[in-house]
Structures are given as C-alpha cells and as structure tokens.
C-alpha cells in the first residue's frame, strides 16, 4: 500500500521583481498595484500554519516568506485526504525575496477588535462629502507611539474592497486620502504583536480637523509550535516565482 505524503516542500526558482516596500500596507500583508493582488506576510507563521493555509486554498497564492521557510519540509495537517493532497500539489505560488525574505499572495485574517463608529444625525450625513483626508495617531495601551502601523481603508459594508492604505510615521501619525465617491468605509489598523482594530462603518467625515486616536492592544494569542513529521514529501517545485537573496 502506497504511503500517504506527509509533508510539503516549497521552492521559489523565479521570484518576482516587485518591491515589497512600495506596496500599500494592509492587515496581514500588502497590496501590489502591479499584480493588483494582496501579498500576505508569511514571515510570522510557523511551518504548520503555512502548510494548513495551502491545504485550505485553491488557485494562485502569493506571500512574503523568510529565506529559512523555504526549501525544507513543511508537515501537512491531519487528516490528509486525496482532495487535500491534490490542492497542495496544485497550489501555484508567486513570490518575492527581499532582504532575506521571500515574497509571494493571499489574505490571512487575524482576530479583529471592532470599534463602533459614532452614529451621525441624518441631516449631517446628507450634507458632508465622503472625499477628504483622515488624520490620526496610533498608540499602544501605555501611550507609546507606534511607528509603521498599517492603516487600511475598505469601502462598502466591510473589509474586502481596498480603497486606500498607509502606515504611521515615526511619531505614530498618519494621513489617509479618501477616494472620491466612497460614501461608507471601514478603517482597519494593524501592528505586529498587537490585535487588529477596526472602526466600522463610517458614513462620512464629521470633523476632518479632529484626529482619530487609536489604541492598540497587545495580542493575547500565541503562535503554535512547529510539528515535525517523518519526511514523506509532496514536492511543490517549480511553482513559485521570485528572487532569492541571502
């Protein structure tokens, strides 16, 4: 009886040339205008989490990887059935390797702490235009300013339709232009090691002169440890593109 494969083996023979730093910051990754796709940040994931993601998804996937996450065995989650193995083998990946990390695309959602936006009066909503500039500051629970926190604006009824994005400066401040024509949007704030914060939904800008103050809370969850299984590998080779640098 043929032994069932237990592991994945990922390689990026031809990484893509897009610049990670020029992409728009998003919760869990960044948006690439060239490919018009979301590039997920896999660098904080364990091997088990990466393997689980590929077993759940179909089609092309792109993400940012550390060099050490590639070219070695990743254990498949149990149970491994025929359909899961087919999806793992058929996963097509695109990637970048930048400053010791490989990049390639999908979207992973972390737990969201949802903050309800203040309700506006009907006459205010009808007279205030949606287009404009949002300004604010992002801090942690102790009041420390967070540099490089991601700020993403999603149009519509919730996260899904990216409208704009930016990151906080060295003083924890941000400015975000709202595209014309957007009448309702979400704001999602994310920072490594902290829970994501969502302000939902905003109908219009009630006071463009007033800063938005966001307080991030440290994440209470921990990443699970890596499970090492006996190698009986499914080789997913030649399916990743990008560039590898040490």
Model pLDDT for residues 114-163, shown as the tens digit of each residue? 444 444 443 333 333 446 788 899 999 999 998 888 888 887 654 457 77
- Domain with 120, as residue range(s), is 112-216
Residues 41, 92, single domain; the answer is: yes
**163 neighbors 238 (Cβ within 8 angstroms):** no
Residues 41, 101, single domain; the answer is: yes
Residues 138, 84, single domain; the answer is: no
Residues 169, 120, single domain; the answer is: yes
Residues 139, 97, single domain; the answer is: no
Mean per-residue pLDDT of the chain: 64
Dist. CA 217–CA 196, nearest whole Å:
8
Residues 49, 98, single domain; the answer is: yes
Q: Does residue 166 have a pLDDT over 90?
A: no
- 1, part of any domain: no
Q: What is the pTM of this model?
A: 0.43
- 246, part of any domain: no
Domain count across the chain: 2
- 181, part of any domain: yes
Residues 201, 231, single domain; the answer is: no
Q: Where are the beta strands (DSSP E) in 19-144?
A: 24-26, 29-32, 37-41, 60-66, 73-75, 92-98, 101-103, 112-116, 132-140
Classify 125 as helix, strand or coil. Answer: helix
53 CA to centre of own chain: 13
């Amino acid at each position: 009886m043929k032994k069932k494969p237990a592991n994945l083996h990922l390689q990026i023979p031809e990484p893509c040339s897009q610049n990670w730093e020029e992409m728009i910051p998003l919760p869990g990754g960044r948006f690439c205008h060239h490919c018009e796709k979301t590039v997920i940040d896999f660098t904080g994931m364990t091997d088990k989490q990466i393997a689980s993601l590929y077993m759940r998804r179909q089609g092309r996937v792109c993400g940012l990887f550390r060099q050490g996450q590639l070219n070695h065995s990743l254990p498949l989650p149990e149970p491994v059935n025929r359909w899961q193995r087919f999806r793992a083998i058929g996963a097509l990946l695109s990637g970048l390797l930048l400053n010791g990390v490989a990049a390639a695309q999908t979207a992973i959602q972390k737990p969201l702490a949802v903050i309800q936006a203040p309700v506006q009066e009907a006459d205010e909503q009808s007279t205030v235009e949606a287009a404009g500039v949002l300004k604010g500051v992002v801090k942690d629970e102790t009041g420390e300013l967070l540099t490089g926190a991601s700020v993403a604006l999603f149009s519509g009824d919730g996260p899904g339709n990216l409208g704009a994005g930016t990151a906080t400066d060295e003083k924890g401040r941000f400015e975000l232009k709202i595209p014309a024509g957007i009448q309702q949007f979400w704001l999602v704030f994310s920072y490594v090691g902290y829970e994501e914060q969502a302000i939902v939904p905003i109908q219009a800008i009630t006071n463009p002169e007033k800063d938005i103050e966001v307080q991030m809370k440290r994440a209470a969850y921990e990443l699970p440890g890596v499970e090492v299984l006996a190698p009986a590998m499914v080789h997913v080779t030649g399916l990743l593109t990008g560039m590898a640098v040490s």
